Each structure stands twice: as structure tokens, then as C-alpha cells.
Structure 1
Amino acid sequence: MSTVAVLSLKGGVGKTSVVLGLASAAARTGVRTLVVDLDPQCNATAALDPGPTTATLADVLATPRRSVLAAAITVSGWGDGVDVLVGAEETESLNDPDPGTRRLGRLAGALGERHRLVDHGDEPYGLVLLDCPPSLGRLTRSALVAADGALMVTEPALFAVSGVQRAAEAVAAERAGHNDRLHTIGVVVNRVKPRSKEHDFRVGELRSEFGDLLLDPVLPDRVAVQQAQGACAPIHRLRSAGARELAAAFDTLLGHTMKSCP
């Protein structure tokens, strides 16, 4: 099982859209996937249209027992290949800036309980995607403690480099302090407008700063993203030219992610 934290320390860059695109690509290729919605806005949960649960991520973080975890996970509206550990607005109250080592490890402990459920006959996941909030509190740090790899999302904007640098520093800090298996998968540039000289310049700036960590292809700015989320459908299910372009990009990004986190 590959566990990937998808993060950005700047809001509004389309981090959840990247999580959903990766989940869509995984479903298309038969990789059973769990999306863990750590963002109190719960956009991933809404877009995945899950069935009802008797618990949420907030309950799991408070009491990371096997029974609570099982009660917080349900199949998504996309079908049997994508499950959701559903988010809740209440997780915002748990997002302490300095939570301590014990509480930072609760998400990792809960996902470890999921491994034990597999031992009792549950089907394993090939990929776990941790959708982090755009802040560096307990929720994002818990994801980094639980993850094998970190995927950082940005957009081609003025403060893009500094935002990714702060995210990279956060990854390095958790690797040094709590999770020595954590590594940086790369930087995803999202919402790139074709034929925009400003965006071309910013992408070049990011490439100069991060080199091979900047992943290709960049993700184009396409209305198909909003259409897919509004329909609670995977991007691969849409048939427009923009959707097909994005689907191909997410297929490539998934391949890189899975290769980086075997």
C-alpha cells in the first residue's frame, strides 16, 4: 500500500482537485484507493459523494481504534474502487499548531489498524491519498507522519516558489523528527493557462528552483475539473477534450507517484 500526502501551504491552488484526479486515474487502472479527507472544508468528501457513515475522521483522530476506523470509511459514489474516510468540519478544532508526538501519530496508528483489518479478510488498498488542509497544524503534520511520500501542489503565481519552499521544509522537518521513510515525490503545477507568458515564466521559475522535483506534465486550467466535481464523477468519465487532456495528465502523474512509493 502506498500512502501519499497531498499538500499545499497556500489555499486555492487546487490541491483537492489533484487528489480527485489521482483517485480517478487509480480507479481507471484498477488500483483500489482510499481518500482520507483531512481538510475541514470537506470538499473531497462532497465530490466523492460517499454513502452514510456513523463516524468521521474527527472520531478516528480522537479514538484511533479499529472499530471507529471501520465506521468512518465507506464506498464513494464513484463505485467500489474508491473508498472515503469521510471528513468533518469538527476536525478544525483538532488542528493544533503544536500537538505533540503522541497525537501526531494517531492517523498513522489508525491506518495501521486498517492493515490489521486486511489480515482479517478485508480487501487491501493499493493507494491511500491524504488530502491535507492548507495549513501546517496537526492535520497536515499527521498526514506527513503517516505517509510514504509527499506530493506538493502549487499554481504558477507570484508567490509560488516561497509556498512550495515552505511545504518542502515541512516535509523535511517531519522526516527528520517523526517519519524517516517520508520522501518528496515532487511538485505538481496546477491550473496552468496555455499561451500565458506569465504562467510560462512562473513555471520556468519553479523549474529553476526545484529541478527534477517539478513533475511533468503540468496540469492545464480546464473547466472540466469543475464539471466533474459538480457531477460527483471522476474526470476519466467525462468525454470533453479538456477532460481527456486532464485524464491523460493524471494517468502520467499516478504512474510517477506509484513508482516513487512502491
Structure 2
Amino acid sequence: MQVVSISSLKGGVGKTSVTTGLASAALAAGIPTLVVDLDPHADASTALGVQPRDQLDIGRMLKNPRKYRLAENVVQSGWVERADQNGRGPAVLDVAVGSAYTGIYDRPDLGRRDLRRLSAVLAGTDKYQLVLIDCPPSLNGLTRIAWSASDKVTLVAEPGLFSVAGTERTMRAIQLFRQEFAPHLSPAGIVANRVRSGSSEHTFRLAEMTSMFGELLLEPHIPEQANWQQIQGAAHSVHHWPGDSAKTTAALFDALLGNLMATGSTMRSRSQR
């Protein structure tokens, strides 16, 4: 099981869109996947079309991680039925539902015991090949809890000045966190998101990111898509949305997922330089 945190220091870069795009690719590929929605806004839960009943949200599971069983509280994504109808089943895409309750842990002063809460929630599950954690756009407690439970961190950035600078700071934060709390953690790479091919600024920043981060800048880059808000608002996966634009984007996420899951020792050694 690979546990991957999807993180960013700066909000508004499309971190949740990348999380759901990767989840869509995993569903299409038949990879049993769990999405953990740690963002108190719970946008990933909405986009994944979950309809919880008696299940506990991830915040309440974090409060008593050894009391509540993950398997009894995950919710099947609403995308799964569409995948089965298209002959892609049996499909597994579950969600640990987000809520504002997780905000009680989004503070900078968490101790080691608190940092291990998500690891305890995930302990013992062998149902999934991939766990994607949608983190809040900050480096406070929830993101640190996610990193403690993860094998890899994927950073999301727009090719803009402030986002690139924030990504560099986050890379340094990952290195410090590894040294103190999580020596097993490695950066899985950086996703350039919402790229506008006709923008000279984006072209310049992508070249700058390549120079700064080298092989940590993952391929392919994800272009800006005008109907992404519509896709998420309808709680559809990009792989089940009609039109050539969605098909092209779905293929990009297929390739990105393959590259993400293939990253390993090379990325670890690059991050230690």
C-alpha cells in the first residue's frame, strides 16, 4: 500500500483537483484506492460524490483512532457505480469523509502522539493499493499528521511566482520534517497544475521550476481546464465526463498516476542533495 499526501503551501493551486484527478485515474485503472479528506473544507468529499449515513468523518476517527475501525466508516465514492456501468468493475474507491471537525488538529503545536493519529487510523488495513490524502493548504498540524502517515508527498503548484516560492519553502519543510519525525518520507514530486500554454509567464515559470527542482517536477503538466468546476460540481470523475477535453485531461492523469507510483529511491536521493 502506498500512502501519498497531496500538499501545497498556497491555496488556490488546484490541490483537490489533482487529488480527484488521480483518484479518477486509479479508479479507471482498477487500483483499489482510499481518499482521506483531511481538508476541513471537505471539498474532495463533495467532488467524490459521497453520501455518508452513520459513518464517522475522518476528524472523529482521528479523535479516537484505536476505538473506531476504518473499514466501518469509509464511504464508497459515488463514482464507482458509473465505473461499474462502463465495465470497469469491480472497482474500489472509498473515502474517509472530511469535515470541519478536523480543524481542531490544524495547529502548529502538535506533539508526536498527535502526529501519529492518522497512522493509527490506517493501521491494519490491507484493502487498498493506494491511499491519497488531500491536505489543507498549510503546513500546520493536519498536514504534518498526513506526512507522518505517508510514504510520499506530492506537491501541487501553479507556474506563478508566489506558488513556485511556496513550493521551494515546502520542500525545505519536508526535509526538516523527515529529519525530526519521518525518516521514511520522500517527495514523490511536484505537479505543475493549471498550466496555460499560451502564457509567457507560465512558460518562464515552468523553465524556472525545471531548473530549481529537476526530476522532481513530474510529467505531464496539467493544463487549465475551463469545465473543471462543472465536473466537480456534478460529482463526476474526469474519466466519465463527455467531450474531447475531458478525455485529454483523463489521459494526462493516467500518465501522471503512473509516474507518481513509479517514483522511489531516485526521488529520495535527489531530495537529500
State the TM bucket, normalised to the shorter chain: over 0.9
Partner residue of 1:8? 8
Task: Give deviations 1:9-65, integer Å, cap 9, x for gaps.
Answer: 100000000000000000001001100000001000011111314311111111002
Deviation at 1:224, TM superposition (A): 3.3
Calculate the TM-score normalised by the size of structure 2.
0.89
Per mean C-alpha deviation after superposition, the further-off stretch among 61-70 and 154-163 is 61-70
Given candidates 104, 113, 120, the residue that maps to 1:93 is: 104
Deviation at 1:90, TM superposition (A): 1.4
**Following the alignment from structure 1 to structure 2, what is the Cα–Cα distance between the partners of residues 167 and 219?**
20
SS at match of 1:159: helix
**Are the equivalent residues in 2 in contact too, given 1:161–1:209 (CA < 8 A)?**
no
Partner residue of 2:59? 58
**Are the equivalent residues in 1 in contact too, given 2:69–2:121 (CA < 8 A)?**
no
**Are the equivalent residues in 2 in contact too, given 1:148–1:261 (CA < 8 A)?**
no
**Following the alignment from structure 2 to structure 1, what is the Cα–Cα distance between the partners of residues 64 and 179?**
26
**Following the alignment from structure 2 to structure 1, what is the Cα–Cα distance between the partners of residues 36 and 219?**
25
Equivalent positions of 1:181-220 (< 5 A) are 181-220=184-223
**Following the alignment from structure 2 to structure 1, what is the Cα–Cα distance between the partners of residues 228 and 130?**
22
**Following the alignment from structure 1 to structure 2, what is the Cα–Cα distance between the partners of residues 167 and 158?**
14
Q: Does 2:259 match 1:256? A: yes
Letter in 1 for 2:115: L
Task: Give deviations 1:86-138, integer Å, cap 9, x for gaps.
Answer: 0011111221211011100110111114x2xx4xxxxx101000000011111
Runs of 4+ deviating beyond 3 Å: none
**Are the equivalent residues in 2 in contact too, given 1:223–1:242 (CA < 8 A)?**
no
Partner residue of 2:83? none
Partner residue of 1:108? 119
SS at match of 2:92: strand
Unaligned runs of 5+ residues in structure 2 are: 81-90, 266-273
Q: Percent identity at matched positions?
A: 45
Equivalent positions of 1:46-195 (< 5 A) are 46-52=46-52, 53-65=54-66, 67-79=68-80, 80-113=91-124, 115=125, 118=126, 124-195=127-198
Instruction: Please give the root-mean-square deviation of Cα atoms over the aligned residues, in Å.
Output: 1.5
How many pairs align? 254
Letter in 2 for 1:64: P
Unaligned runs of 5+ residues in structure 1 are: 119-123
**Following the alignment from structure 2 to structure 1, what is the Cα–Cα distance between the partners of residues 242 and 99?**
32
Partner residue of 2:42? 42
Letter in 2 for 1:152: L
